[in-house]
Amino acid sequence: MTTVCDLDSVIAESLASAVGDAAVVTTIDSLRRRLEEDPGEDTVVLGPTVDPAAAFRLAGEMRIWRPVLSVILVRHRVDSGLLAEAMRSGIRDVVDVRDVAGLHKAVRHSQALAAEIRERGPIGSSPSGPRGRIITVFSAKGGCGKTTLATNMAAILADRGRREVCLVDLDLAFGDVAIALQLFPAHTIADAVPLGDTLDFGALQALLTPHSPGLTTLVAPVEPGSGENIPSTLITRILEVLRDHFDYVIVDTPPAFNDHVLSAFDLSDLVALIATLDIPALKNLKLTLETMELLNYPRERWRVVINRADSKVGLSIGEVEKSLKTQIAAQIPSSRDVPAAINRGVPIVLDEPRHPVSAAIRTFSERFVANAQGGGPGRPPDAATRPERRGLLRRRSRA
């Protein structure tokens, strides 16, 4: 059930008709009494005439005492300052008063979240231990297929809703996850910045964009330069929170060893290093392997994947393994069907499950992620096994 509150009864009734099945109150006090009488209420819509301070205060209280309840704020004008304050207070979504479809969607999303929270247990309850695994996909050279591997691996692991997977786009300047999956996100990872150290799953959940059963995404900023304001400490916090609430967290990355990528590496159970059969990509892969050794990342957490492995370019897999002194874990064939699937916004593993590319990615995902020995949900790197970097690229150095 949804309760709509606005000081103007005409506006309140209008919002209620936009929402559908909703009760109407015209004061905050009346709203509080209704919430006390109905502990099963899952959504509150606060109209444009409700005082912002009162709205933020109510949302802050409900975030602690009624974590299943979502508060949606409707305003005549929505700007970045309002969004930041709303998220800090625990408001789930902010909608323009003219966006009837957006309000309807926000309420339905809130109700779906409430149902999921009730099924899993209350937000903020402490799990017995980290339940998920973090898998990072990386290449020091662009164009090798990082996003293709990440999106398809996430879809396979979600297994049409049998598992819960979150795909995080950490390419904060040029992320392509939203485009590759044809998503239209209301929020991005940049919206987590105002929350800082107070970030919890309740707040983070409001920033996620669903794709398909079991598969949820946290997409990169859409505004140029927004990623520059995201500290690496926030990335660590985000991944830790997601790991505690999803079976798998798949991280797509930019082609660079920056602080954000290294933060993901620190928490990763597996790093999939992808390259193609061309000299520049293999040179960068070799440098990547050497750099990861210098940074003291355990070899057992690397897996090398060759994309477009059947390309006739005069290099064999055997020669590559000999040059890299590393075994190739997976070979993904080349196919025009891959960009065609991307253009349709559907991972090829969902669009054509029996395609050779789908089969290769599924084999890799099942062998090295879903059925990895010594891993599995609940076995992320802990303080004893997490790598201690040698300080080559940034902060940590050995004592």
Q: Hey, what CATH class is 2-120 in?
A: alpha beta
Query: 32 Cβ partners below 8 Å, 6+ apart?
Result: 58
How does residue 372 score in pLDDT terms, banded at 50, 70 and 90? low
Give tens-digit pLDDT for 185-224.
888 999 888 887 778 888 898 899 999 999 999 999 987 7
154, 165 Cβ separation under 8 angstroms: yes
Q: Which of 241, 272, 263, 234 is closest to 389 using CA atoms? A: 263
Give tens-digit pLDDT for 14-33.
999 888 888 999 999 999 99
Please state the length of the chain: 399
At position 33, the amino acid (one-letter code) is: R
How does residue 386 score in pLDDT terms, banded at 50, 70 and 90? low
Model-level pTM greater than 0.85? no
Is the pLDDT at 276 greater than 80? The verdict is: yes
220, 188 Cβ separation under 8 angstroms: yes
In percent, how much of the chain has pLDDT > 90? 48
Mean pLDDT confidence for 352-367? 94
Please state, in angstroms and rounded to a whole number, the distance separating the CA atoms of residues 47 and 45: 6
Helices 100-120 + 9-19 axis angle, to 10:
70
Residue showing tokens 């323009």: 96
Q: What backbone phi and psi angles, to 5 degrees, belong to 344? A: -85, -10
Please state, in angstroms and rounded to a whole number, the distance separating the CA atoms of residues 156 and 23: 41
CATH classification of 133-370, choosing from 3.40.50.620, 3.40.50.12780, 3.40.50.300, 3.30.420.40? Answer: 3.40.50.300
Is the pLDDT at 246 greater than 90? The verdict is: yes
Is the pLDDT at 149 greater than 90? The verdict is: yes
63, 202 Cβ separation under 8 angstroms: yes
At position 358, the amino acid (one-letter code) is: S
- Sequence ranges of the domains in the chain: 2-120, 133-370
Is the pLDDT at 104 greater than 50? The verdict is: yes
Give tens-digit pLDDT for 300-340.
889 999 999 888 777 888 888 998 888 999 999 999 999 99
Is the pLDDT at 390 greater than 80? The verdict is: no
User: What is the torsion angle, in degrees rounded to the nearest 10, for the CA atoms of residue 26, residue 28, residue 30 and residue 34?
Assistant: 120
Residue showing tokens 């996430």: 154
Please state, in angstroms and rounded to a whole number, the distance separating the CA atoms of residues 256 and 141: 8
Sheet of 2-5, strands arranged across: 22-25, 2-5, 43-46, 70-75, 93-96
